[in-house]
Amino acid sequence: MTAAERREHERMRDLPDGFEDDDGYEDDVMRGDVAAETSHAGEFVTEEEAQESDVSLLEQLRAHHNQLFPRTRDRRTRADRTQILVDAFAAQMEAMTDVYLVWKLATAEAGLGAAYLPPEDASVEHTQRILVVDNFSAAYDEIPIIQGDLFVASALVRQGLMPVAPYLPSVVITIRALEVYRVTRLRCPRLGIQAYVRGLCDLHGVPPRPYLATQFTVAFDVYLAILARVERRVLAALSRDTPDWRLRNACPACLYKLEGEEALEIHMLATIDGNNSLKRSWRRNRDDVQEEGPAIPGASKEWLNSRLPAGDYYLSREEVDRWAKEGLEDMMKGFVADEAWVEEEDGCSERWQNMREEVTSRAFGMYDETGFFPALCRHSFVLIVVDMVKSGELAKYGFAVTHHLMCVLGEIGLGYDIGCKYDKMVRAHPGLSKLAADTHFRALVGAFHGSAHKRKCQLKNLTTYVRGVGTEDLETCECFFLKSNALASTTRYATAFHRKQAITTYLKHADTADAYQGLSSVLCSKYRRALRTKATLPALQEAMVQLGVESREVFETWLEKEKAFLQSLSAEPLQETLEMEYYQKLALQVRSKAVKASIDRYNAAAVAMTPPKVTLTWEQVVEYAFLADFDLVREGREDIRAEPWALPAGRAAMDQHYKLLRADEELKRLNVEIRRLVTHIADEEAFLEYHEDRLEEEGNLALAHQVGLYRMERGRFDTLHLVRLGKLSTERGFTGSISPGVSICRERHVRQAVLRRDGSEDVGMRAPAGPAAVVPEGGEDSEDDDEDDSNALAEAFQVLVRMSGDDSRAG
């Protein structure tokens, strides 16, 4: 390097002050610790202005870069992924339902264990390697896709496989594995999908993974949706798809009325009550805590899901909200309540928390659905259900259920733990009072909850003293909750759809496999219990002789005397009230000096506080004296100790008198209900066989097979019903009839000739497909031997033949 080149090189390395190599300025700028010095044409700028200039320069550079190299920002979220999946399967659901019917018919003989065999004339487009998950195995298999299937999903369902994705599934689950879980969960509602999938993993020898439960959930939801569509097709073929058909035919014993049957005092008995066990956690963001005022609830994080559960068990939230306080303004216009139902408070509202405003208006911030509110008939069939939403047991839930039941079923008596108060609320409601009067509505108090009410309330509303109730305790909901509470563990953190789907499927199963299966057992047990009560009549007659009671009408006068006495205790006479107030003030004045000294000390302390508190006066302290409110019968102005109805022996005789009256009413109702059940069994069997044969003649074999399965859902228990009722009819004291009658509803009246499989013609019923349900379940039935069961079964089939061959019932 020459001397000139060396000087030029040194000149280039000659840096100005402040930019020496060892000060690390460049590194500070690159790290963003300091701002880069930029030229401002010799002007002096402040540090803030320099910072703003740098920011502006960076924004211009960023905008220029984005213009040269544009990139679309992904603004998608996963909140709608469930809805996208639902929409994709919904477009294929009809085709999947069609092929499911074909597969179900093909496996009718061999059952769920049958292997799929493609038709001989079928053309295979291609095969697809898919992981097939079954109960005891999980392996990849080459699945043939048959030509003619519209979708891959429908091609898989045709072979008994349920996809976990709508278009290109890599995993399928066999329908029999899904069916095993469905049936098992109905019998054990505590069994969740996660536990079942982990059990499959143990059987397959693989470690559990979170996505496996998600895949199983998708397949199970699709399977239930297909079953719901199949059921809708069956109901449409039977002309049972009209609104409220299920409710009008929920219970054969309550609703299948016959011509010429004895009229009942109360046409139908049902119960309503709220249950907060089936709460569901509300998925939302954290609350926004304010410095002042209450916290603002976080926004919901629920994923979009437009699916609704199958069936019509539920009333919608919109229907329920019509009966809230906010919806009463329009109803109140021009409405005048009947003064007969505007009574003074009876004291039960203070005792029973369900009627207290501070309890019923309380919302649970961590839950969306805070429980459910069902209505059941006295035989445990579910009539209607509503969800309790962000609240306790508000009146609007009972109003919505009551209005729907009165509109659809007409006259009904409802048992409710607060029936005394609820009856007045319904009678005074602008939207319910006229309907309640037209349908002779009556709200009653259950036998168990009634014991917590005041005696005055019991004499009016307790089932023991109400005509037409019989021996019914109206506590069906409590027994139902003992079983339905098992759903809580699997629905607490479920989505809104999955919670309602689980409840709906359970209710349908409870109606079929629990309520209908045990219907005849309930009727027989109630009948025998009423007969045992009737057997106590001689003991009552002996007690009447000892008490000097000439007739049982005397007990009615005793009850009225007790009501009058309790009424006299509800309020003191005005003169005595004034005298007592005078004596109380005199007693206070005796201690006035001590009381006034206490008042002075309190007022001095109140004034000294910051801020000062309100002071008291003597008159205010006098008003603070309260009297205790006693619920028990206490000594009054009249001495009732010598009254016969107040003596232990007299009260026991009077109670037995009313038990006998209710037993007579119960036997009357049971005689009606037993004949209704027998007639329903005959009519339903003949009706379904007729339509099954009709569909077979029309060539719709797949749907005819489904009608046969629908027939056997409840028909498998009919023989057991007839065996139980046949035994009851032979017992001493039975006054009813087990011969079929003629129903008022002509819907099931058909005249048919059922063709046997060998081609001969026979008039009658088909024997149940599969083993008959005649195994004794315990109790009184278990005491009979096998020979008696066989004879009873033979007699039951003879009764069935006589039922179907009775031309007098044909419409």
Q: Please give, one letter per residue, the 3-state secondary structure of 384-421.
A: EEEEEECCCCCHHHHHHHHHHHHHHHCCCEEECCCHHH
What is the predicted pLDDT for the residue at 484? 94
What is the predicted pLDDT for the residue at 570? 62
Per the model's pLDDT, the better-predicted residue between 70 and 592 turns out to be 70
d(CA 133, CA 84): 24
Average pLDDT over residues 374-395: 91
Please indicate, yes or no, whether residues 316 and 446 belong to a single structural domain of this protein. Answer: yes
3-class SS of residue 649: helix
Average pLDDT over residues 493-497: 89
| Integer CA distances (angstroms), 165 to 175, 177, 221, 616, in order | 15, 17, 12, 75
Residues in the chain: 811
Please indicate, yes or no, whether residues 375 and 401 belong to a single structural domain of this protein. Answer: yes
The pairing of strands 171-174 and 124-133 is parallel
The arrangement of strands across the sheet holding 138-146 comes to 138-146, 124-133, 171-174, 161-163
Domain termination residue (choose one: 68, 92, 125) = 68
Identity at 626, one-letter amino acid code: F
- Banded model confidence at residue 783, pLDDT cuts 50, 70, 90: very low
d(CA 330, CA 427): 18
The reply to whether 311 falls in a domain is yes
Closest CA to 248 of 258, 257, 236: 257
557 by Cβ neighbours in 10 Å (0-12 / 13-18 / 19+) ranks as: exposed
Residue 773 near residue 716, CB atoms below 8 Å? yes
**Apex 488 CA angle, 484 and 490, nearest 5:** 115
The reply to whether 532 falls in a domain is no
- Banded model confidence at residue 244, pLDDT cuts 50, 70, 90: very high
The reply to whether 535 falls in a domain is no
114-123, 219-228, 435-444, 685-694 — which is least confidently predicted? 114-123
What is the predicted pLDDT for the residue at 809? 45
* Percentage with pLDDT > 90 across the chain: 44
Please indicate, yes or no, whether residues 377 and 461 belong to a single structural domain of this protein. Answer: yes
Average pLDDT over residues 584-602: 72
What is the predicted pLDDT for the residue at 714? 92
The reply to whether 538 falls in a domain is no
Q: Does position 190 have pLDDT exceeding 70, yes or no? A: yes
Q: Does position 327 have pLDDT exceeding 80, yes or no? A: no
**Apex 249 CA angle, 244 and 251, nearest 5:** 130
Q: Does position 252 have pLDDT exceeding 60, yes or no? A: yes
Q: Does position 764 have pLDDT exceeding 50, yes or no? A: no
Q: Which residues of 783-801 are buried (b: 16+ CB within 10 A; e: fewer)?
A: eeeeeebeebbeebbebbe
Counting the structural domains of the chain, the total is 5
The pairing of strands 124-133 and 138-146 is antiparallel
Q: Does position 578 have pLDDT exceeding 90, yes or no? A: no
Domain termination residue (choose one: 68, 99, 125) = 68
The reply to whether 594 falls in a domain is yes
| Average pLDDT score over the chain | 80
269-278, 358-367, 739-748 — which is least confidently predicted? 358-367
- CA 721 to chain centroid, in Å, comes to 28
Please indicate, yes or no, whether residues 739 and 766 belong to a single structural domain of this protein. Answer: yes
Q: Does position 724 have pLDDT exceeding 90, yes or no? A: yes
Identity at 476, one-letter amino acid code: T
Please indicate, yes or no, whether residues 61 and 91 belong to a single structural domain of this protein. Answer: no
Please indicate, yes or no, whether residues 52 and 87 belong to a single structural domain of this protein. Answer: no
Please indicate, yes or no, whether residues 186 and 333 belong to a single structural domain of this protein. Answer: no
Structural domain boundaries, residue 112: 81-237
| Integer CA distances (angstroms), 395 to 356, 371, 460, in order | 11, 14, 22
Identity at 163, one-letter amino acid code: P
Q: How many CB atoms lie within 10 A of CB 524?
A: 22
- Banded model confidence at residue 288, pLDDT cuts 50, 70, 90: low
Please indicate, yes or no, whether residues 232 and 272 belong to a single structural domain of this protein. Answer: no
The reply to whether 91 falls in a domain is yes
**H-assigned helices in 317-393:** 317-321, 328-332, 348-351, 357-360
Per the model's pLDDT, the better-predicted residue between 39 and 804 turns out to be 39
Q: Does position 805 have pLDDT exceeding 90, yes or no? A: no
Question: Which residues pair with residue 271 across a beta bridge?
Answer: 376, 415
What the block records as the tokens of 46 is 């402040």
78 by Cβ neighbours in 10 Å (0-12 / 13-18 / 19+) ranks as: exposed
Identity at 645, one-letter amino acid code: W
Please indicate, yes or no, whether residues 88 and 63 belong to a single structural domain of this protein. Answer: no
d(CA 593, CA 515): 71
Q: Does position 212 have pLDDT exceeding 90, yes or no? A: yes
d(CA 614, CA 603): 8
What string of DSSP letters covers 74-97?
----STTHHHHHHHHHHTTHHHHH
d(CA 523, CA 528): 9
Identity at 54, one-letter amino acid code: D
- Banded model confidence at residue 114, pLDDT cuts 50, 70, 90: confident
The reply to whether 697 falls in a domain is yes
What's the distance, Cα to Cα, between the start and end of the chain in Å?
A: 125
What string of DSSP letters covers 183-222?
HHHHH-TT--HHHHHHHHHHHHT----HHHHHHHHHHHHH
What is the predicted pLDDT for the residue at 290? 63
pTM of this prediction exceeds 0.85: no
Q: Which residue has the tokens 């819907």?
A: 747
* Percentage with pLDDT > 70 across the chain: 73
Residue 364 near residue 370, CB atoms below 8 Å? yes
What the block records as the tokens of 285 is 């963001």
The reply to whether 554 falls in a domain is no
Highest mean pLDDT among 325-329, 446-450, 682-686: 682-686
Average pLDDT over residues 199-225: 94
Please indicate, yes or no, whether residues 690 and 761 belong to a single structural domain of this protein. Answer: yes
Please indicate, yes or no, whether residues 86 and 63 belong to a single structural domain of this protein. Answer: no
Report the run of H or E that residue 382 belongs to, with start and end: strand 382-389
Please indicate, yes or no, whether residues 390 and 415 belong to a single structural domain of this protein. Answer: yes
d(CA 684, CA 740): 12
